[in-house]
């Protein structure tokens, strides 16, 4: 299992890093357990030798999710904590991470998160991670598809994309859809990941 403090730091600063992952679209299984490295470069995190992620799936929200589960950003009503009514472009990402790469993910996610908050059309973001599945998820809300793709091509995001294949253990997806504030939820994201093939970035 990954160190709890390390996991909270990942979820807190994750931003859109999961959207950068490269690899297949399949769910985890015994063959995608990674190399079983017992820890990161400082002994933080990592899965025990022979760890298996059987039962982990992009379509099922993990029971042990931690981090910023609620949307936050300029489009969230400060009084209610709810996304303001409107029509949006919603995007979700799922990344099955090599547990030993947790520290690298933290290093890359900081600049990505900082740039996200300055992007035109950015409405809200939430990020979460699961220790049992070594998985990270993001949910972002944009004013338009054009705004989202401008962020995808931004310098911090592009730099992190170059490291994506070394972080993913082979399962990564990104899906976006147009919808109202009622469709910008983790439950909707999991449903769409299950029903659509999605894409890899």
Give yes or no for residue 106 having a pLDDT over 60. yes
| Cβ contact 69:125 at 8 Å | no
How confident is the model over 183-191, as a mean pLDDT? 96
- Among 31-35, 66-70, 168-172, 190-194, which range has the highest average pLDDT? 190-194
3-state secondary structure the chain: CCCHHHHHHHHHHCCCHHHHCCCECCCCCHHHCCCCCCCCCCCCCCCCCCCCCCCCCCCCCCCCCEEEEEEECCCECCCCCCECCCEEEEEEEEEEECHHHHHHHHHHHHHHHHHHCCCCCEEEEEEEEECCCCEEEEEEEECCHHHHHHHHCCHHHHHHHCCHHHHEEEEEEEEEEEEEHHHCCHHHHHHHHHHCCCECC
Q: Identify the pLDDT of residue 35.
A: 34
How confident is the model over 129-149, as a mean pLDDT? 92
Give the pLDDT band (50/70/90) at residue 142: very high
The whole model's pTM is what?
0.74
Beta strands at 135-142 and 122-130: parallel, antiparallel or unpaired: antiparallel
* Mean pLDDT lowest among 18-27, 59-68, 124-133, 137-146: 18-27
How confident is the model over 5-24, as a mean pLDDT? 38
Q: Tell me the domains of the chain and their CATH numbers.
A: 4-25+65-195 (3.30.70.100)
pLDDT top residue among 95 and 62: 62
How confident is the model over 61-85, as a mean pLDDT? 92
pLDDT top residue among 187 and 27: 187
- Among 63-77, 92-106, 156-170, 177-191, which range has the highest average pLDDT? 177-191
Task: Give tens-digit pLDDT for 153-179.
Answer: 999 888 877 777 888 887 678 899 999
Cα-based angle 29, 63, 61 (whole degrees, multiple of 5)? 65
How confident is the model over 14-22, as a mean pLDDT? 35
Return mean pLDDT, the chain: 75
pLDDT top residue among 122 and 195: 122
Give the pLDDT band (50/70/90) at residue 85: very high
Q: Which is nearest to 140 in space by CA: 95, 185, 197?
A: 185
Give yes or no for residue 190 having a pLDDT over 70. yes
């Amino acid at each position: 299992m990954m160190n709890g403090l390390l996991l909270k730091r990942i979820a807190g600063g994750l931003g859109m890093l999961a959207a950068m992952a490269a690899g297949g679209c399949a769910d985890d299984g015994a063959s995608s357990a990674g190399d079983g490295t017992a820890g990161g470069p400082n002994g933080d995190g990592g899965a025990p030798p022979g760890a298996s992620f059987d039962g982990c799936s992009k379509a099922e929200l993990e029971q042990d999710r931690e981090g910023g589960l609620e949307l936050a950003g300029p489009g969230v009503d400060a009084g209610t904590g709810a996304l303001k009514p409107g029509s949006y472009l919603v995007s979700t990402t799922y990344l099955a991470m090599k547990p030993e790469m947790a520290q690298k993910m933290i290093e890359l996610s900081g600049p990505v998160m900082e740039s996200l908050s300055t992007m035109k059309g950015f409405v809200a973001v939430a990020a979460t991670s699961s220790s049992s599945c070594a998985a990270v998820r993001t949910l972002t809300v944009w004013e338009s598809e054009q705004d989202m793709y401008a962020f995808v091509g931004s310098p911090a995001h592009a730099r992190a994309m170059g490291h994506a294949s070394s972080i993913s253990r082979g399962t990564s997806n990104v899906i976006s859809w147009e919808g109202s504030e009622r469709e910008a939820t983790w439950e909707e994201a999991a449903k769409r990941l299950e029903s659509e093939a999605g894409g890899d970035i």
